[in-house]
Structure 1
Amino acid sequence: MTYTQQNSPIHEALVKHKKNRVVHFDVPGHKGGRGNPELTQFLGAECLKVDVNSMKPLDNLIHPTSVIKAAEELAAEAFGAEAAFFMVNGTTAAVQAMIMSSCKAGEKIIMPRNVHRSAINALVVCGAIPVYVNPGVNRNLGIPLGMSIEEIKKAITANPDAKAIFVNNPTYYGICSNLEEIVSLAHDNNMRVLVDEAHGAHFYFGENLPISAMAAGADMAAASMHKTGGSLTQSSFLLCGKGVDPGYVRQIINLTQTTSGSYLLMASLDISRKHMYQHGKEIIEKTIDLSDYARNEINKLGGYYAFSTEIINGDTIYNFDRTKLSIYTGDIGLAGIEVYDLLQSEYDIQIEFGDIGNILAIISAGDRAFEIERLLSSLSEIKRRYGKDKVGMLNHEYIDPDVVLTPQTAFYSDKKSILLKDSLNHIAGEFVMCYPPGIPILAPGERITKDIIDYIIYAKEKGSVLTGPKDMKVEYINIVD
């Protein structure tokens, strides 16, 4: 059968399967929901009837030959890639597959330190060695920025044997690096460019947006369709450009991805690709209109700063994703995480995350104007009721890591647990990070400094959720013995 972008092969195969009224003597054991009435009542019988296992008519994710293969080919076409893979272990699995298919144990990869934990986890698994490029820092906003071209040039000169350059594009806050220039530099030096595009899946389908990884000539990209493309949570695409062997990439994916791929997740990717391909321009236009309106109104409130393209500097902020509603809260005397908590507990508004100085609200075409107005009025009230002078706020900046051991060596070393307050100058044997966004404050193999200890304590006091350590209260930390 010949498919076009008007088709959704996996979805169509599931609809046909459901109509065939197949008798199931296979897994899952809920048997279309009949074996678990409470779950069926919660999720709906129609949902559970298509929560099925791999079979000939529905193909197999680990070795696709029919409808999944067709859906992957349509996705590659839609994203302008040479190959695309359906990822059901989240964008985390896509990030790890990019790194593990590009770097072997002992090989170097150039990356910014403000990567998602999934990237450093990949180094723990495969044994690659990170060469960190310090991201720029906006000292007023207290956020890491993109990668400076000069810093990348220095890293390439000092490490000509590196296999790849890893780029966050966009960052959680919507900040983009000069991706085309990075690709040109990397390819001139026989290095791959791997792009964590977790927050940029929509770049492929809209207008007036920063350039996408595939359009910039990147070798691989992890596009988190569930974040901004409309698919179900945990579903993502791994995209490959020219010169990447998709057969080998699939082998790497199959090292860690489940053999029981969820057809609910795959169908959601299939339908969302079709939907964005057909309607992406108007979806993105509406999203930008909503974000721009919210930004303008928030900036009229005073005390908050919803930043946008005016912060572009041509290097570490090469471009900005206007769909992102990133808001600095420091001038009302509240940490971002405090505003996050107030919005949730007092106003029943759930935003994406709050860090020390900022909050992030994810806007999409699924939002409605009155909900934007509710956010605006709530922020105004929070400022009036809880705002205070900018006193006692931690002047948070990017903490330059002192990497003593590779993440793999440190993670698998013998460790001992000591009080966090007594850990100064020791080498960390585990992660510490605020989640979201999941960017490590400390990674295995890095020396623990006073700045790091102070930041962790401050983040705890402000109510940030800290993850990573074995001690879930983060009173103790494992160090390399």
Structure 2
Amino acid sequence: MQSQDRMPLLEALTTSAQRYHAPFYAPGHKQGQGIPQPLAELLGMSVFRADLPELPELDNLFAPAGVIQEAQQLAATAFGAKQTWFLVNGSTCGVMAAILATCGVGDKILLPRNIHQSAIAGLVLSGAIPVFINPEYDPSTDLAGSVTPAAVAAALAKHPDTKAAMVVYPTYHGVCGNLEAIAELVHQHHIPLLVDEAHGAHLSFHPDLPASALSAGADLTIQSTHKVLGAMTQASMLHIQTQQVDAQRLSKALQLLQSTSPSYLLLASLDAARQQMALYGEQLMSRTLQLADDARDRINRISGLSVLEFDHTHGFYDLDRTRLTVRVSGLGLSGFEADEILHQQLGVTAELPTSEHLTFILSLGNTQADIDKLVQSFTTISNEYYPAQQPTAWQELLQSWKAHFLYIHPSSFTICPYLSPRQAFFAPTETLSVNHALDHICAELICPYPPGIPALMPGEIIAPAAIEYLQQVLALGGSITGCSDPTLKTIKVVSC
């Protein structure tokens, strides 16, 4: 067995970067000799000396037989996989490749409604037909949980010809569903379970964290190593552990989707991040959990604030404690307003604001000083805004929204697919005013934040409830993504 101490790819890249030679190959900056001075001053020269292409000693990402192969094998062992692929185009390409590897034109795939937009791109590329399952939703907290085993079982019973199932685990807010039960249901139908585990690369390394997707029975999982571990932005991994997924077809799909000029800086960062976690992962995660628990306890004692806790309802089976979701609406502020104050005035930046919450990612890179700064900043905001003297316009709008939330939230929509996402993507389109777009076929992915659940998908009939919901999201200070007109005055539809 290979030693997890080694970093074969990083070691080879270090040697190549330090070797003097005349470079007559891309990239054009020639190991930094031609780099613009302002960029060199920002990053230093060493990063450019290591910005190398597929030199013979550095192996080939698409036909690995040397140091990349060895690094990927070490990663597979560290993360509990049968085989691992390094990704330089982020988890986005991994999600798309997973769909391409398991589904073709006309094949059905189960997906949660709050799936990442990369999965919709995978549907467009593959021609697969989505069978959407709504995640559980808690209107009292304005947060979506996970899909439940019961919902998966019902979908499989209704669509026994389904070729694959994909779920999100954990969610952006750290919510984990009962993945083990879902895996058992999916495998009873002899199809693979694919997991978008973009926010869960750390789960394998501490017993007090939720189970990793692979240990819970996933056949394939995609992890954004850069999101919570020590890899560089855009560096991710894809793991498989069973023969339910054709490894050769998966490799071909990744060749279609990844750059033919992969960054060795990103690849080497994956090798180093793996070694760090294999050797010190439990120690690093213990410290991260201690920081998270400290932050949770102290923030919960600040007037007007509360931190999301574990709850067995609404698709909550477990919770990643390193993800802090703080409810700020008790201060009379929206999450967007609190985020602006923290970022611009107090020097604290959250990962994700929503109508009532701010979500913070705690990782191995955070320090006690970070936690103290966060708590101090929230204390400052609370001292200024709590208690709210009178309902703000935002609070009045929010209460009005919640009064009939069950009617307008996507979990209550009747999904009306008319065309597949692929058919809608390639169909002729026209732009109509939002009022005239009703009952037409949507040609865009329209996803509101909050709560991040797509309200309209390409190929679906545009219903009045969806438009009303989207307009109220905008009124609350949220944003609309994926569409050509984020103000929602117009929508692209499939031409009649």
Same fold by TM-score greater than 0.5: yes
Post-superposition Cα deviations, 1:145-186, rounded to whole Å, max 9, x if no partner, equal 111111111111111110111110000011111111111111
Post-superposition Cα deviations, 1:52-99, rounded to whole Å, max 9, x if no partner, equal 111210011111110001111111111110100000000001111111
Give the match for residue 174 of structure 2: 174
Measure, in 2, the Cα distance between the counterparts of 1:474 and 1:232. 35
Give the match for residue 68 of structure 2: 68
Give the match for residue 152 of structure 1: 152
Q: Give how far 1:142 is off.
A: 1.2
Post-superposition Cα deviations, 1:83-116, rounded to whole Å, max 9, x if no partner, equal 0000000000111111110111100001110111
Post-superposition Cα deviations, 1:395-431, rounded to whole Å, max 9, x if no partner, equal 3644434333221112222111122354333322112
1:409 aligns with 2:423: yes
Give the match for residue 19 of structure 1: 18
What does 1:31-430 align with in structure 2 at a 5 Å threshold?
31-36=30-35, 37-243=37-243, 244-309=245-310, 311-313=311-313, 316-386=315-385, 388=388, 389=391, 390-393=395-398, 394-395=401-402, 397-399=409-411, 400=413, 401-430=415-444
**For residues 206 and 436 of structure 1, do their structure 2 counterparts lie closer, same or farther at Cα, with a shift above 3 Å needed?**
farther
Q: 1:183 is paired with a residue of what secondary structure?
A: helix
CA contact (8 A) 1:93 1:256 kept: yes
- Per mean C-alpha deviation after superposition, the further-off stretch among 326-335 and 289-298 is 326-335
Aligned residue identity for 1:290: L
Q: Give how far 1:446 is off.
A: 2.3
**For residues 386 and 430 of structure 1, do their structure 2 counterparts lie closer, same or farther at Cα, with a shift above 3 Å needed?**
farther
Aligned residue identity for 1:65: A
Aligned residue identity for 1:121: A
Q: Give how far 1:375 is off.
A: 1.6
Aligned residue identity for 1:289: Q
In structure 2, runs of 5+ residues without a counterpart are none
Aligned residue identity for 2:325: S
Determine what percentage of the aligned residue pairs are the same residue. Answer: 36
CA contact (8 A) 1:431 1:443 kept: yes
Measure, in 1, the Cα distance between the counterparts of 2:445 and 2:491. 9
Aligned residue identity for 2:92: T
- Per mean C-alpha deviation after superposition, the further-off stretch among 233-242 and 459-468 is 459-468
CA contact (8 A) 1:117 1:439 kept: no
Q: Give how far 1:474 is off.
A: 4.1
CA contact (8 A) 1:207 1:285 kept: no
CA contact (8 A) 1:144 1:398 kept: no
CA contact (8 A) 1:426 1:448 kept: yes
Post-superposition Cα deviations, 1:272-328, rounded to whole Å, max 9, x if no partner, equal 00001111111111111111111112211132220122x134x82111111110122
CA contact (8 A) 2:397 2:476 kept: no
In structure 1, runs of 5+ residues without a counterpart are none
**For residues 441 and 375 of structure 1, do their structure 2 counterparts lie closer, same or farther at Cα, with a shift above 3 Å needed?**
farther
Q: 1:253 is paired with a residue of what secondary structure?
A: helix
**For residues 199 and 149 of structure 1, do their structure 2 counterparts lie closer, same or farther at Cα, with a shift above 3 Å needed?**
same
CA contact (8 A) 1:116 1:438 kept: no
**Aligned residue among 476, 485, 493 for 1:471:** 485
Q: Give how far 1:438 is off.
A: 6.2
CA contact (8 A) 1:200 1:228 kept: yes
CA contact (8 A) 1:142 1:398 kept: no
TM-score by length of 1: 0.94
Q: 2:455 is paired with a residue of what secondary structure?
A: strand
Measure, in 1, the Cα distance between the counterparts of 2:78 and 2:286. 19
- Per mean C-alpha deviation after superposition, the further-off stretch among 133-142 and 381-390 is 381-390
Measure, in 2, the Cα distance between the counterparts of 1:146 and 1:157. 19
CA contact (8 A) 1:298 1:306 kept: yes
**For residues 443 and 333 of structure 1, do their structure 2 counterparts lie closer, same or farther at Cα, with a shift above 3 Å needed?**
farther
Measure, in 2, the Cα distance between the counterparts of 1:459 and 1:380. 28
**Aligned residue among 459, 469, 473 for 1:445:** 459
